[in-house]
Every structure is written in C-alpha cells, then in structure tokens.
C-alpha cells in the first residue's frame, strides 16, 4: 500500500516568491494534516481537514498561507509571498476518520524541505 505522497521533496526559492506544496494522502483516509517543522524542533500543526472541510486552521498564518483540499483527497498548501523565516520542512499526514479505528494513528509523508533565499 502506498504511503502519503508529497511533492516536491525539495524547493529553493527567493523571498517574496510564491510556492506550493502538494500532498496525496493514503487512500481512504478522510483526515489530512499539514505540519511545519523547523530545524531541531518537533512538527507543529498548521491545518487539519476532515474531508473537504478545514476543521482546525487556528495555527495557519492566513496573511500569507493558504490551503485547499478539493474533493476531499489531494491537498495543496501555498505560501505567497514567502519570507526567509518560512524555510522549514512541511509535512503532510493522514489518518482514518475518527471512529473508524480505536486509535487513528497519523501516517506522515517524507515532507518538502523549503529553502527561502
């Protein structure tokens, strides 16, 4: 079974440029998460989707970050414009809908490493 797929794996851009990350979750997983991981730190949640609905976006910096999950499957995270401080790894994870399993572990993709110059 394929895991969570993310692309690109690496991205280098200049500040003020836009950038987008793509995530394809595990088939059948209704819940999708985007996390931000700074160097030496644990991942931090940016946004969580239940199907198409963003149910927790409280940590998403909405002035420059946006996300969508059309049709409740793939998702895209965008930054426009990027700043130097956005350099980090962006992780996508997915899990079953609550209630489908006793404990719905989250399955993570490999992440996209963003470098803003």
Q: Which residues bind other proteins (CB under 8 A)?
A: 4, 31, 33, 40-45, 48, 50, 55-56, 91, 93, 95-98, 100-101, 103-111
* Cα-Cα-Cα-Cα dihedral sign, residues 104, 52, 8, 42: negative
In whole angstroms, how close is the CB of 108 to other proteins at the nearest point? 3
Nearer to other proteins, 15 or 40 (CB): 40
In whole angstroms, how close is the CB of 104 to other proteins at the nearest point? 2
Nearer to other proteins, 44 or 83 (CB): 44
In whole angstroms, how close is the CB of 98 to other proteins at the nearest point? 4
Nearer to other proteins, 16 or 87 (CB): 87
């Amino acid at each position: 079974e394929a895991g969570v797929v993310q692309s690109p794996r690496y991205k280098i851009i200049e500040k003020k440029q836009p950038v987008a990350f793509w995530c394809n979750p595990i088939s059948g997983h209704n819940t999708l998460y985007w996390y931000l991981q700074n160097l030496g730190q644990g991942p931090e949640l940016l946004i969580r989707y239940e199907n198409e609905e963003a149910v927790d976006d409280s940590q998403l910096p909405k002035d420059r970050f946006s996300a969508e999950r059309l049709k409740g499957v793939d998702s895209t995270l965008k930054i426009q414009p990027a700043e130097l401080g956005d350099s980090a790894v962006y992780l996508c994870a997915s899990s079953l809908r609550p209630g489908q399993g006793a404990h719905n572990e989250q399955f993570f993709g490999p992440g996209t490493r963003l470098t803003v110059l």
